[in-house]
Amino acid sequence: MIYPEFIRRGDTVYVTAPSDGNKDDVDYIRLDRAKEALRECGVDTLETPDVRKSENGRSSDAKLRADEFTKAWLSEAKAVFAAKGGDYLMEMLPYVPFGELCRKPKWFQGFSDNTSIGFILSTCYDIASIYGDNFNTFAMEEWHKSVSDNWRILSGETVTQYSFDMYQDEWIKHETGKEGYVLTAPVKWKCINENGGVSMTGRLTGGCLDVLLNLVGTKYDRVGEYVKRYWRDGILWFIESFSLGSGDIERGLWQLGEAGWFENVKGFVFGRPAFFNSDDGTSYEQALINQLGKYNVPIITGADIGHKPPQFTVVNGAYGIFSCMDGKGSLDMRFV
């Protein structure tokens, strides 16, 4: 696994919009405040033109988004951040010269629709990537510990991430651009198929299930080769979902299993689902057990990953140690 150079004072980073872009005044305020926050850390931020555009859920057409992303990647910047999530990032993938990008590894960070880029970099090209907050999160007036941890990890510090006490259970509209999280619900990690505490290790691999399902069977699906390369470590899957219901989740996990993605699995860690529903009464936990119980490995739910913040910084491709006990959890990562 290739780990890019960490960010140091005096470096430059890029923000680009491979999916959707910023589209209203508060978005622009948050973007500018995030750039200012990084400047206070001694880091300058460049942005591609598509970052301040949004039309029909896209920052620009597919080819232009790919060109802007490639421009940012091939620059001297130490990292590339996604501006926003969205729904249509997959359109730009055919125009991205991944082979050329491999000659200049750097950190990519984003989540949700940005799963595609990070997952492809890690599973196809062995370049570690970060599943974590999109760029505007750095705008909050006082960084939440999750954001501070994110920056410390990007700066090369060894950080043990511990589960938080509370999380934001609803989408909150930003009014000033300075807001932090509105924490309203207790965090509770749970191992749903084993009693007592669990600790599991393996190559951290995953992202948003809604997006991962789009990659199955495409030319970007080289997971079978990936799991064989890292058979000594095994694979520790971290997964979260945005709008999938119980049936979608069961069918999706079955599909990934049949495609060979779960060969050599050591465990599953699921984040809090953003919008979950069940038409047949199947609970979220039962849906997971129905499809993953046969692998006889721990299944953790309620983890601080994904759309209901705060979320961990998870490095796709790193060697990870996830632990869970008494409703709490932690993640250690080793860049080996």
In the prediction, which pLDDT does 6 show?
98
According to the model, what pLDDT value does residue 230 have?
A: 98
The reported pTM is: 0.97
Q: What is the mean pLDDT of residues 176-196?
A: 95
Are 304 and 271 spatial neighbours (Cβ–Cβ below 8 Å)?
yes
189-215 mean pLDDT = 96
pLDDT band at 315 (very low <50, low <70, confident <90, very high): very high
| CA triple 19-21-27, angle to 5 deg | 145
Name the burial class of residue 45, with classes exposed (0-12), middle (13-18) and buried (19+) by CB atoms within 10 angstroms of its CB: buried
Note whether 182 and 44 are same-domain residues. Answer: no
Residue where a domain stops, chosen among 159, 188, 209: 159
Task: Respond yes or no on whether the N-terminal peptide bond of residue 310 is cis (omega within 30° of 0).
Answer: yes
pLDDT tens, 59-110?
A: 999 999 999 999 999 999 999 999 999 999 999 999 999 999 999 999 999 9
Report which secondary-structure segment, H or E, holds 172: none
Whether the predicted pLDDT of 269 surpasses 90: yes
Q: Say if residue 153 is in the same domain as residue 177.
A: no
**What is the per-residue burial (b if ≥16 Cβ within 10 Å, else e) of 193-230?**
beeeebebbbbbbbbbbbbbbbbbeeebbebeebbeeb
CB 316 within 8 A of CB 130: yes
Domain of 84, CATH number, reads: 3.40.50.10740
* Reported confidence tier of residue 226, pLDDT bands at 50, 70, 90: very high
Among 138, 174, 171, 140, smallest CA distance to 26 is for 174
pLDDT at position 279 is 87
Whether 84 and 113 map to the same domain: the answer is: yes
Question: Would residue 3 count as lying in a domain?
Answer: no
Per DSSP, the three-state class of 15 is strand
Whether 69 and 108 map to the same domain: the answer is yes
Number of domains in the chain: 2
pLDDT tens for 134-159 read 999 999 999 999 999 999 999 999 99
Q: Is the confidence at residue 190, as pLDDT, over 90?
A: yes
Read off the pLDDT of each residue in 118-124 and give the average, rounded to a whole number: 98
pLDDT band at 2 (very low <50, low <70, confident <90, very high): very high
Domain that holds residue 298: 162-334
What's the rounded mean pLDDT across residues 299-311?
Answer: 98
Is residue 110 within 8 A of residue 122, CB to CB? The reply is no
State whether 26 and 174 are in the same domain. Answer: no
Residues 168, 145 share a domain = no
Same domain, 80 and 152: yes
Please tell me the predicted confidence (pLDDT) of residue 195.
Answer: 87
Looking at the fold, whether 29 and 141 belong to one and the same domain comes out as yes
Yes or no: say if 120 and 220 are a contact pair by the CB < 8 Å rule: yes
Tell me: pLDDT of 221 over 90: yes
SS3 of residue 177 by DSSP: coil
Mean pLDDT over all residues of the chain?
Answer: 97
Last residue of a domain, one of 97, 124, 159: 159
- Residue 221 token pair: 């699906």
Partners of residue 320 on adjacent β-strands: 202, 333
Among candidate residues 139, 159, 179, the one where a domain is terminated: 159
Residue 167: predicted pLDDT = 98
Q: Could you tell me if 201 and 320 are in contact, meaning their C-beta atoms sit under 8 angstroms apart?
A: yes
| % of residues, the chain, pLDDT over 70 | 100
Q: Where are the alpha helices (DSSP H) in the chain?
A: 25-40, 62-74, 98-101, 115-125, 145-154, 209-215, 223-229, 246-258, 284-292
9: which 2 tokens? Answer: 């004072």
Does 6 fall in a domain? no
